[in-house]
């Protein structure tokens, strides 16, 4: 029986030489694999009160929508600056070579709501940390951070755990 990790394609030297790109579109395209990933992402949170699922752009939207559907809760997109049409709050974060900004609608969450943050990949943790800060600035609480892939050597898990976050990943790949 195939695992989630078995269904993830690795593309060498993309987007540039030396990078091993972990492509989850092959997982998403496999009906059984996609269902398995959604079930496994939800498993650690069985019995946890969750009011919303927040997904990080862009593959976190695919996963987050499916998770929100399974939980019968709303979905909140956290997007790159300039992509949301309403009033937003923003949070900057550092990239390997530069900086970026994530945004969320200023009315997307209510104080006290319990939120599961989701994305396909955990690398350095910068994008996830920006998402956590946005959620917390709206007065909501992150009950967990769920990822399909962890790249442990890049330190994202430790970064999020140092923020007090519960981190769950379905598989890990060595060699970013």
Cα distances (Å, whole numbers) of residue 17 to 12, 14, 102, 133: 8, 6, 27, 33
Residue spans of the domains in the chain: they are 48-168
pLDDT of residue 1: 85
12-41 pLDDT, tens digit per residue, is 999 989 999 999 999 999 999 999 999 999
Signed CA dihedral, 161, 121, 57, 61: sign only:
negative
Hey, which CATH number is domain 48-168, 1.10.287.130, 3.40.109.10, 3.20.20.70, 3.40.50.2020?
3.40.50.2020
Summarised one tens digit per residue, pLDDT across range 58-115 is 999 999 999 999 999 999 999 999 999 999 999 999 877 789 999 999 999 999 999 9
Report the share of the chain in percent with pLDDT over 90. 93
- Predicted model pTM: 0.96
Identify which has the larger pLDDT, 161 or 176. Answer: 161
CA dist., res. 65 & res. 169, Å (int): 18
The residues annotated with a catalytic role in the active site are 59, 96
């Amino acid at each position: 029986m195939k695992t989630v990790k078995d269904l993830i394609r690795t593309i060498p030297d993309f987007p540039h030489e030396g990078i091993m790109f972990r492509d989850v579109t092959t997982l998403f395209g496999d009906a059984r694999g996609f269902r398995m990933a959604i079930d496994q992402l939800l498993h650690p949170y069985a019995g946890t009160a969750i009011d919303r699922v927040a997904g990080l752009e862009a593959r976190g939207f695919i996963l987050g929508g499916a998770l929100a559907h399974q939980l019968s809760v709303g979905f909140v997109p956290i997007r790159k600056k300039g992509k949301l049409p309403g009033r937003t709050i923003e949070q900057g974060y550092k990239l390997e070579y530069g900086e970026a900004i994530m945004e969320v609608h200023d009315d997307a969450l209510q104080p006290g709501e319990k939120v599961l943050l989701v994305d396909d990949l955990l690398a350095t943790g910068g994008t996830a940390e920006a998402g956590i800060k946005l959620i917390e600035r709206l007065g909501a609480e992150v009950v967990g951070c769920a990822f399909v892939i962890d790249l442990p050597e890049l330190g994202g898990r430790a970064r999020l755990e140092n923020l007090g976050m519960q981190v769950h990943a379905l598989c890990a790949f060595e060699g970013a």
